Amino acid sequence: MEQKLSQNDLFTLIALLCHGGYFWVLPSFATKENGSMGILSMLLGAGTGLLILILAYRLSQKANGQPIFQYLGQIMPKPLAQVTALAIWSYLAIFLILCLAFFTEMMSSRLLVDTPRWLISGVLLFLIGRLAALGLVDITRFSFFALISLLFLMLMLILGNLPLFEIIQALPLVLENGAAFVDTWLQVSNAYAIVLCLLFILPRVKQEKKNLSWAASALVLSAVFLSVMTFLAMGVFGQDFSQTMFWMHLEQAKIIQLGPYLERVEAIYVILWMTVIFAASSILIYCTNHSLAQIIQRPLTVKMHWLLIFFFWLCCNYLGNMEKIILLLGYFNQIFFWLMIGGLLLAFFFAQRDRKASNL
Amino acid sequence: MLSFLHKGIGRRQIFSLCLLSLVMFVLTGCWDKKEFNQMAIVQTLAVDKHENEYKVTLQLITPKAGEKGITGEDLWIISGQGESVAAALDQADLSTPRRIYLEQMNLILLGEGVLADDLMGGYRYLTRSHYLRRSNYVLAIKGEAGEIIAAKPELGKIDIFYLTNLIKDQERKIKNSVTLVNDCLLAAHSTTGAVFIPAVILEAKEKLTLDGGALVKNNQLVDWVDQAWTESYYWVCGEIKQKPLVLQDVWKAGDMVVLEVEKSRCHLVVKQQQPLVIGLEIEAELDMVDNRGVHNVADEKELEQSLEQVRQRAEQEIEAIVKEGLDKAQSLNCDAFNLGQWLAAFHQSVAAQYDWQKDFKDIELEVEVKTEIKSLLINQK
């Protein structure tokens, strides 16, 4: 019998899901048009993520331990259930590809300039794939270590950046472009919507009363962490920082000085961050691959797992430059996010109808 | 012992063995390794400009193999010229067999030519590449920046981080006294567009001294300021932690009191909105460290009076210093004190009424100083 996860494990997994590679660049996107108001759009986006989390939780509760897509097949017309499942899977897959592509891009453009991109993504995916293949219990064990790294990173950034922080650079909070604000809110919502992975994690978690609260608090904590970091970046680099920098965390790490002499510690920072990326990506791969296995109604074999990893590696290499990544991000925001939201709402609607029918 | 041979080796084991053998080659070291003694580590970069031609001068540390530490012998100075900083760096690269490593750079010296023409041009290329840290120090040089590095390389024998330590020492005494690349970049996007960059001068070709600085607005040099001006800048923008304040003729002609500023802080307030009056409230904690005047007083009342006289003189002195600096900045219409940025941050509706870059010269600024003298060198009989 599969080992069940505790509420602590659930908290760890959700907290790390909200720190994948995409979340590295989110502050840049959020503040580009909005300045400090971008932080508000990030918090609102996290709020939307919270609603999706509640929706996913309720849906998972109704499924009562069954694989979620199997449950959808029972309550919805078969073709509609398949389309819904595909919409959710494509959202997960593209999110995973984006996270990996952003991370690979950062590594190859900033840190490992001489190392071929295919090798960076290959090694990354091999290790993540191996971890994901071991199962959710091992992923959680590793994630716990990554969560400690994350807390250490947060401390390093705050202490390292505070000497250069000036509140007047982060103020005033002005909403200049309403349309851009809404766009950013939707983009951040899109990122936080990844908490729908709960649909695939929850069946493995012990049924306890406060599961939802634990998952929600992990999301809130992640959103607060990202907002604090962004506010810190505003106070250090000014409200126009996203015009001049893309990898905010990396620039923040560059100015960390440990004691009077130990400087240029961004490599240490990135190594620690890598553990966070490993954990977040392995959770994503686990959910993406298992969801596909549910769609095709076959157990996830080792061969299928590695075949999918190979597919993600190919996609990651195809997105060989920032232009292509941004293009995919555009499609992701405009099409796949809405398809996933539509699918999720439809599933919830059918689940509600099913409950009413069974009550009658 | 070799029982596995009898059992036979599975495909899985063969695959693992092959993988392990492959990994062995990789684990011997990084393929893109950069040996320490094969690198030319840039400590300081000087950028100059003459008639659309940039010149970069690099102070390199070139450690030799087997050396335990870096000595003055490891210092090397190279230069290059080109139509841009990137082209000049590329040319400089031709004169060293080692890879130029800019990542550890601490200091950028900007010559008068760069400051007068386009400050950002001096390091725009570096900001776009990943070499530059925003926490790098910037110094302005009256004349050729390259000369500071090239004219006196033996200074390096004393301390290869001479200039950096000079700045750090100043920062130890006065918080926010240094200017970083980040400050210059922030100024480029700020309401005021202005920044103060401390200057270093080469005295009699053997002594490097921090002296005054350059006022830059919209990436162009507005004027050079002397050390007296920087004092006013430190009172407003910095936090003085250790600085002497000498007061002459306090009680009677010939008296002298030396006060050490232990702590200072400047609070900004909007005193009046229409027309705008900004108040600069300076608070300082002082210690009396030398007294060549009144040493003994009869009673507490007399002590209080003597002290009050010192306090008043100190406040007048600080006020005069600050006012002089503000007047100079206003006469140049260059808000290096960042008052406009403060106003935009905390009094947005008021700031919206002004075009700060044009109107700064006409804004009324009121200076108010409050001091507290913590320790005395006056005894009560």
Flag whether residue A174 sits within 8 Å of chain B, measured between CB atoms.
Answer: yes
Residues of A in contact with B346 (CB under 8 A): 168, 171-172
- Using the Cβ of B342 and the Cβ atoms of chain A, whether some distance falls under 8 Å is answered with yes
Beta-carbon separation of A110 and B130 below 8 A: yes
* Predicted pLDDT of residue B112: 92
Q: How far is B378 from chain A (nearest CA, A)?
A: 38
Question: Would you say residue B13 lies in a domain?
Answer: no
Contact B346 A168 (CB under 8 A): yes
Boundary-marking domain end, from B225, B253, B280: B225
In a domain, B95, yes or no: yes
What pLDDT is stored for residue B188 in this prediction? Answer: 82
Cβ–Cβ < 8 Å for A88, A59: no
pLDDT, tens digit, for every residue of A211-262?
A: 899 999 999 999 999 999 999 999 998 887 777 778 888 888 888 877 666 7
My answer on whether B291 and B351 are in the same domain is: yes
Mutate to test the interface with A, among B130, B160, B177, B341 (most CBs of A within 10 A): B130
Maximum Cα–Cα distance for chain A, whole Å?
Answer: 73
Same domain, B245 and B190: no
Distance CA B124, CA B117 (A): 13
Q: Does A302 touch chain B (CB under 8 A)?
A: no
Instruction: State the residue for tokens 């009056």.
Output: B277
Residues B214, B261: one domain?
Answer: no
Contact indicator for B54, B85 with CB cutoff of 8 Å? yes
B135 → chain A, closest CA residue: A255
**Residue B180 forms contact with A (CB below 8 Å):** yes
Residues B70 and B212 in one domain: yes
Residue A20, both tokens: 């994948």
* C-alpha span between B344 and B340 (Å, rounded): 6
Does B191 contact A at CB distance below 8 Å?
no
Contact of B344 with chain A, judged by CB distance below 8 Å, is answered with yes
Distance CA B369, CA B317 (A): 10
Residue A222 backbone phi and psi in degrees, to 5: -65, -40
Return the SS3 of A173.
Answer: coil
**Tens digit of each residue's pLDDT, chain B (381 residues):** 455 555 556 777 888 888 888 777 766 666 666 677 777 888 888 999 988 899 999 888 876 655 555 555 667 888 899 998 889 988 988 888 777 888 888 889 999 999 998 888 777 777 777 777 888 899 999 988 888 887 655 555 545 577 788 888 888 888 888 899 889 888 888 878 899 999 988 877 677 888 899 999 988 999 999 999 999 999 999 888 888 999 888 888 888 889 999 999 999 999 998 889 999 999 999 998 888 877 677 777 888 888 888 899 999 999 999 999 999 999 999 999 999 999 999 999 999 999 998 999 999 999 999 999 887 776 666
Asked if A100 and A108 touch (Cβ cutoff 8 Å), the reply is no
Last residue in a domain, options B159, B192, B225? B225
**Cβ B180–A109 below 8 Å, yes or no?**
no
Q: What interface predicted TM-score (ipTM) does this complex get?
A: 0.81
User: Do B69 and B217 belong together in one domain?
Assistant: yes
B243 in a structural domain = yes
CATH code of the domain containing B284: 3.30.300.210
Domains of chain A, residue spans: 7-359
d(CA B326, CA A315): 59
Residues of B in contact with A167 (CB under 8 A): 345
CB-CB: which of B32, B130, B134 is closest to A115?
B32
Distance from CA of B32 to the nearest CA of A (A): 6
Distances (CA, A) of A318 to A114, A246, A321, B35, B226: 19, 21, 8, 33, 58
Cβ–Cβ under 8 Å, residues B334 and B262: no
pLDDT tens, per residue, chain A with 360 residues? 578 889 999 999 999 999 887 888 888 888 888 888 999 999 999 999 999 999 999 999 888 888 899 999 999 998 999 999 999 999 999 999 999 998 888 888 777 777 888 888 898 899 999 999 999 999 999 999 999 988 888 888 888 888 889 998 888 888 888 899 999 999 999 999 999 999 999 998 988 888 899 999 999 999 999 999 999 999 998 887 777 778 888 888 888 877 666 777 777 888 888 889 999 999 999 999 999 999 998 888 999 999 999 999 999 989 888 888 889 888 888 899 999 999 999 999 998 887 766 665
* Cβ within 8 Å, pair A264-B133: yes
Three-state SS string across A33-76, please? CCCCHHHHHHHHHHHHHHHHHHHHHHHHHHHCCCCHHHHHHHHC
Residues B44 and B159 in one domain: yes
Contact yes or no for B182 and A240 at CB 8 A? no
Å between B354 CA and nearest CA of chain A? 16
Residue B221 domain flag: yes
User: Which residues in chain B touch residue A172, judged by CB atoms under 8 angstroms apart?
Assistant: 344-346, 348
Q: Do A169 and B186 touch (CB under 8 A)?
A: yes
Inside any domain, residue B19: no
Residue of chain A minimizing CA distance to B344: A172
**Is position B6 within any domain?**
no
Contact state of B103 with A168 under an 8 Å Cβ cutoff: no
* A301 CA: distance to closest CA in chain B (Å): 16
SS3 label, residue B285: strand
Could you tell me if A130 lies within 8 Å of chain B, comparing CB atoms?
Answer: no
What CATH number belongs to A7-359? 1.20.1740.10
The CA–CA distances, whole Å, from B81 to B55, B59, B88 equal 4, 15, 4
- As a whole number of angstroms, the distance between CA B369 and CA B319 comes to 6
Domains: count for chain B: 2
Question: Looking at B193, B225, B257, which one is the last position of a domain?
Answer: B225
Is B232 a member of any domain? no
Cα–Cα distance measured from residue B188 to residue A51, given in angstroms and rounded to the nearest whole number: 41
| CB-CB contact of B286 with B314 (8 Å) | yes
Is the same domain home to B61 and B126? yes
A171 CB within 8 Å of a chain B CB: yes
Structural domain of B360: 239-380
Q: Are B186 and A169 in contact (CB under 8 A)?
A: yes
What type of residue is B116?
Answer: A
B257 and B205, same structural domain? no
CB-CB neighbors (< 8 A) of B127 in chain A:
244
Cβ of A174 within 8 Å of Cβ of B32? The answer is no
| Secondary structure (DSSP) of A290-301 | HHHHHHTTS---
